[in-house]
């Protein structure tokens, strides 16, 4: 049975204009204290019967802001299976050989690089600071230190980004021959500088065209779409994300981290300061929780599954809704799956599940 662990690293050098995550640019002084609190929280879970996990995902924030020895000390505290998929999100600007050698030695076997775009003006409009050439450098270092499994994250629909700009980003990403690519449409999150600037909000029709362009280029490069926003070579799908999409169980560690076990979900306090205070006082860092009923869980499971290549069982939609969804889904007699057009409207399709 798959069981995952998520570790949240809330530190960032710079906050991007579109980011609504629990990240902080003024808390670097907390790094060692925060890591100690993380190890304590993980130790409590281990003492409470936490199983060896099948996947670990370290996200943020910017995990590569931590010194490698701090990162590896966190990983050492997590009980992992021998075949555990262990992923760390990386800022291309931070990556160096010593860091990745340390990661490899700690059992990390998958990296996820935040690329977003290979065009300077698009990065500037996102409020990103990295140099696209550092993406190429980071991938070269990753391969040179033994990493054959990695993801490149890209974003489309940015103000000032033409369809050809986007196509160039996707082609340049493919030139790096990645085994996995995640391509997300830019979304406007409340409370961000992007939300406060309507001129920079994405256009739905342009984003739809960009999605189709990405699917064509990535598919031609041998990367198959296995979830609405994710493409991979065979056997390189992200197992940790699959766990989420399949309503699997996982424990989240650190500020703002979410967990799901036995149908119960809970999440930690948002700020690293408060997280450290609570853990050091011997208290739980839990902020709130919810428990879905059987019908809610079943429906949510279908809404997640329809986003995946495997789709949902025949009978998950009413005949009337299937008629309304013509062109958005395909029925092979056993499973119902999204078409490419359906992937563009996955949220609307999911609302018609019963």
Say whether 157 sits in a helix, a strand or coil.
coil
How far is residue 281's CA from residue 340's CA, in Å, rounded to a whole number? 51
Q: What is the pLDDT along the chain (354 residues), one digit of tens a residue?
A: 899 999 999 999 988 888 878 898 899 999 999 999 999 999 999 999 999 999 999 999 999 999 999 999 999 999 999 999 999 999 999 999 999 999 999 999 999 999 999 999 999 888 887 788 999 999 999 999 999 999 999 999 999 999 999 999 999 999 999 999 999 999 988 988 888 889 889 999 999 999 999 999 999 999 999 999 999 999 999 999 999 999 999 999 999 999 999 999 999 999 999 999 999 999 999 999 999 999 999 999 999 999 999 999 999 999 999 999 999 999 999 999 999 999 999 999 998 887
Please report, to the nearest 10 degrees, the dihedral formed by the alpha carbons of residues 169, 146, 85, 107 taken in order: -140
Its sign, for the CA torsion 215, 216, 218, 219, is positive
First-to-last CA distance in the chain?
Answer: 27
Q: pLDDT at position 150, please?
A: 98
Instruction: Specify the pLDDT at position 120.
Output: 93
**In the prediction, which pLDDT does 22 show?**
86
Contacts of residue 240, Cβ cutoff 8 Å, sequence gap at least 6? 4, 6, 55, 56, 57, 85, 87
CA distance 199 to 180: 32
In this prediction, residue 222 carries a pLDDT of: 98
Q: 320 pairs with which residues across the strands?
A: none
CB neighbourhood size of 282 (10 A): 8
- Give the per-residue pLDDT at 19: 85
> Is the torsion defined by CA of 238, 241, 247, 248 positive or negative?
positive
Structural domains of the chain, ranges and CATH numbers in brackets: 3-244 (3.20.20.70), 295-350 (no CATH)
Task: Give the Cβ contact number of residue 323 at 10 Å.
Answer: 9
94 contacts: CB under 8 Å, gap ≥ 6: 62, 64, 65
């Amino acid at each position: 049975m798959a069981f995952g662990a998520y570790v949240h690293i809330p530190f960032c050098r710079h906050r991007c204009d579109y980011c609504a995550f629990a990240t902080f640019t003024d808390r670097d002084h907390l790094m060692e204290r925060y890591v100690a609190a993380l190890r304590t929280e993980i130790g409590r879970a281990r003492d409470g019967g936490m199983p060896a996990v099948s996947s670990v995902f370290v996200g943020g924030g910017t995990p590569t802001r931590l010194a490698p020895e701090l990162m590896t000390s966190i990983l050492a505290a997590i009980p992992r299976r021998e075949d555990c998929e262990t992923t760390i999100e990386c800022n291309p600007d931070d990556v160096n050989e010593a860091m990745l050698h340390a990661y490899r030695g700690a059992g990390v076997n998958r990296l996820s690089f935040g690329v977003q775009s290979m065009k300077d003006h698009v990065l500037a409009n996102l409020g990103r600071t990295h140099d696209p050439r550092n993406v190429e450098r980071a991938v070269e270092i990753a391969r040179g230190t033994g990493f054959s499994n990695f993801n490149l994250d890209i974003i489309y629909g940015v103000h000032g980004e033409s369809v050809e700009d986007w196509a160039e980003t996707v082609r340049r990403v493919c030139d790096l021959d990645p085994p996995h690519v995640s391509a997300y449409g830019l979304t406007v999150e409340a409370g961000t500088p992007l939300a406060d600037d309507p001129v920079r909000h994405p256009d739905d029709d342009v984003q739809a065209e960009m999605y189709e362009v990405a699917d064509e280029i990535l598919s031609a490069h041998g990367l198959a779409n296995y979830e609405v926003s994710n493409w991979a070579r065979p056997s390189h799908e992200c197992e940790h994300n699959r766990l989420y999409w399949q309503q699997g169980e996982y424990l989240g560690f650190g500020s703002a981290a979410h967990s799901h076990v036995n149908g119960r979900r809970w999440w930690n306090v948002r700020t690293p300061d408060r997280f450290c205070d609570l853990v050091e006082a011997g208290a739980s860092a839990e902020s709130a929780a919810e428990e879905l009923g059987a019908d809610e869980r079943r429906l949510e499971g279908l809404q997640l599954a329809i986003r995946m290549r495997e789709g949902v069982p025949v009978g998950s939609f009413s005949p009337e809704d299937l008629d309304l969804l013509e062109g958005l889904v395909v029925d092979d007699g056993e499973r119902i799956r999204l078409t490419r057009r359906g992937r563009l409207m996955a949220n609307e399709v999911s609302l018609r599940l019963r």
